[in-house]
């Protein structure tokens, strides 16, 4: 059995984003229940030299939308990275899910060998589609999603492994 680039990317990223959206919702509910300013959570970080929760969400969503766009050979929409409240972050995740669901297998399958160039501060990096997906996007997406989870958990939000993984469909 073979798996397509579409199946390896879009449904996986949509599931991860859906779970991210749910844990952000639990963070928001926790802040309200405990009467804590929600910005305490969205500005929180695990260590002083790490990015705060809001930036973790920005990067996770950028990874997802950039991945699918690049694999399809189209320009990804630009998000301004100004969201800081739970409502704004949840809306950004939802916008990303909606964007990903616009793509179909025909647009992404066959992108295994497509050249993907990304611009980093240190300079451009070139990948083939398969390596881009599995050695760059997925590790980055999971890193930033996990860090979001960890920040919320560290700050007392009652979430667990199944919140991160989501329920099997």
Instruction: Look over the chain and give the mean of its residue pLDDT values, rounded to a whole number.
Output: 96
β-sheet bridge partners, residue 120: 123
Report the pLDDT value the prediction gives residue 60, as an integer from 0 to 100.
Answer: 98
β-sheet bridge partners, residue 116: 127
Tokens 């991860």 locate to 16
pLDDT, tens only, 140-164: 999 999 999 999 999 999 999 999 9
CB-based contacts of 19, cutoff 8 Å, min separation 6: 145, 163, 164, 165, 166
Residue 1's pLDDT band (cuts 50, 70, 90): low
Report the pLDDT value the prediction gives residue 94, as an integer from 0 to 100.
Answer: 98
CA distance 64 to 20: 12
- pLDDT (mean) for 115-133: 95
CA distance 149 to 104: 29
CA torsion 152-29-84-94 (nearest 10°) is 100
The CATH label, of 3.50.50.60, 1.10.287.3510, 1.20.120.450, 3.40.50.1980, for the domain at 5-160 is 1.20.120.450
Report the pLDDT value the prediction gives residue 168, as an integer from 0 to 100.
Answer: 74
Q: How many CB atoms lie within 10 A of CB 146?
A: 15
The answer to whether residue 169 scores a pLDDT higher than 70 is no
Q: Which residue from 80, 106, 89 is spatially nearest to 10, judged by alpha carbons?
A: 106
Residue 134's pLDDT band (cuts 50, 70, 90): very high
Report the pLDDT value the prediction gives residue 2, as an integer from 0 to 100.
Answer: 79
- pLDDT (mean) for 106-128: 95
Contact by Cβ (8 Å): 20, 141: no
pLDDT, tens only, 39-48: 999 999 999 9
Residue 82's pLDDT band (cuts 50, 70, 90): very high
DSSP character at residue 50: S
């Amino acid at each position: 059995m073979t798996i397509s680039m579409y199946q390896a990317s879009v449904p996986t990223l949509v599931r991860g984003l859906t779970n991210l959206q749910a844990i952000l919702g639990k963070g928001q509910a926790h802040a309200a229940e405990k009467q804590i300013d929600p910005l305490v959570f969205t500005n929180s970080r695990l260590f002083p030299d790490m990015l705060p929760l809001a930036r973790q969400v920005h990067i996770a969503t950028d990874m997802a939308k950039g991945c699918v766009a690049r694999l399809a050979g189209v320009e990804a929409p630009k998000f301004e990275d100004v969201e800081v409240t739970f409502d704004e972050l949840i809306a950004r995740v939802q916008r990303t899910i909606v964007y990903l669901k616009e793509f179909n297998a025909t647009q992404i399958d066959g992108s295994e060998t497509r050249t993907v160039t990304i611009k980093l501060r240190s300079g451009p990096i070139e990948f083939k589609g398969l390596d881009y997906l599995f050695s760059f996007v997925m590790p980055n997406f999971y890193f930033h999603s996990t860090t979001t989870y960890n920040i919320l958990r560290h700050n007392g939000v009652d979430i667990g492994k199944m919140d991160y993984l989501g329920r099997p469909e």
